[in-house]
Amino acid sequence: MALLSVTDLSVFIGRLKPLDGISFDIGKGEIVGMVGESGSGKSLTAMSVMGLLPLIGGKMTSGSIRFDGIDLATLPEPHYRALRGRRIALISQNPMTSLDPIIRIGAQIDQVSILHLGLSDAAARARSIDIMQQLRIPEAATVHGNYPHQLSGGMKQRVVIAMALAADPELMIADEPTTALDVTIQAQIIQIVVDLVRERGLSLLLITHDMGVVAQACDKVVVLYAGRVAETNGIDAIFGEPQHPYTRELIRCIPRHDQLRGSLTGIPGAVPSVMDYPSGCRFHPRCADALDICAGAIPALEQKAAGFAACHAAINAAGKVSAHG
């Protein structure tokens, strides 16, 4: 049974509907990548799972989020609070601002295990230093007594990850954990997280807009576009035979070393604004394979090959050679 099961999740913020029927599963020990351009609803999905929607004035209007048999949509706040950090932990986007500037690094990691596991100060400290060492933070004991401004961005991100790991969660949600970092250490941080998750048998929802990261780390991929799931499939199938034209475009955008100079391209057009989504398939104005039906009818998320895709053209495009191949 899936550890986290999101079914038909729709979220309203005021009169806007930035998430429209999102469904995906994360199994135990599985690493699921969630990709899509900015504004496609990736972070909002994470907020929904964490139960933090009220903070930004969002409201879940339909669907269900089930975590290990618990219905998160109706979970009272005190129970939710006990779950956050303890069983589901979030690694936030920007390590530069995710740490309290006037509290020592160590105390910030310690407080998680003190709060959730009821450890003593000394036990929490030993545990934190142990986790910091696993995250390959050099001189962990010294860093434990430092303030955030004394650390580099990469070290801060490791500290943020250590905070997420401090209470031994079963599911981690990493919301673009490396966007704020230098390219040189992005891969390193991802590798450390993936190794730890594999080692401990945790589940991970890795939110990113980098298909390269997904290819390197994930078991399964959920492709979001404009608040809907475009396609979801296993990692090999997604890269081997992508069904949705949007997935193909994303894969085409991964730079390759044998690429001709100047041939690096993006997807033409921009993600539509939540205030004025196109009718039918929301990708059709940018889609090279768009059919007449695409502007009129919303494509359902249907079983295609091993995964699911929401595309009218996918049936006809079944035999098409992918851009990746």
Binding site for another protein (CB under 8 A): 50, 52, 55, 81-86, 89-90, 92-94, 97-103, 111-112, 115-116, 160, 163-164, 166-167
We find the least distance from the C-beta atom of residue 230 to another protein, in angstroms, to be 27
* 94 vs 322, beta carbon nearer another protein: 94
In our burial notation (b when 16+ CB lie closer than 10 A, e otherwise), range 272-307 reads bebeebeebbbbbebbebbeeebeeeebebeebeeb
We find the least distance from the C-beta atom of residue 282 to another protein, in angstroms, to be 28
Burial of residue 9, with CB atoms counted within 10 A of its CB: 0-12 exposed, 13-18 middle, 19 or more buried: buried
We find the least distance from the C-beta atom of residue 84 to another protein, in angstroms, to be 4
In our burial notation (b when 16+ CB lie closer than 10 A, e otherwise), range 144-158 reads beeebeebebbbbbb
* 116 vs 286, beta carbon nearer another protein: 116
109: left (phi over 0), alpha (psi -120 to 50) or beta: alpha
* 55 vs 260, beta carbon nearer another protein: 55
* 43 vs 247, beta carbon nearer another protein: 43
What six digits make up the tokens of 183? 């390219």
Cβ(312)–Cβ(291) under 8 Å?
yes
We find the least distance from the C-beta atom of residue 36 to another protein, in angstroms, to be 21
- How many residues are listed for the chain in this entry? 325
* 163 vs 211, beta carbon nearer another protein: 163
What is the CB neighbour count within 10 angstroms for residue 136?
Answer: 11
We find the least distance from the C-beta atom of residue 81 to another protein, in angstroms, to be 5
Q: Give the span between the Cα atoms of 136 and 193, in whole angstroms.
A: 11
We find the least distance from the C-beta atom of residue 100 to another protein, in angstroms, to be 5
* 13 vs 115, beta carbon nearer another protein: 115
What six digits make up the tokens of 284? 């059709």
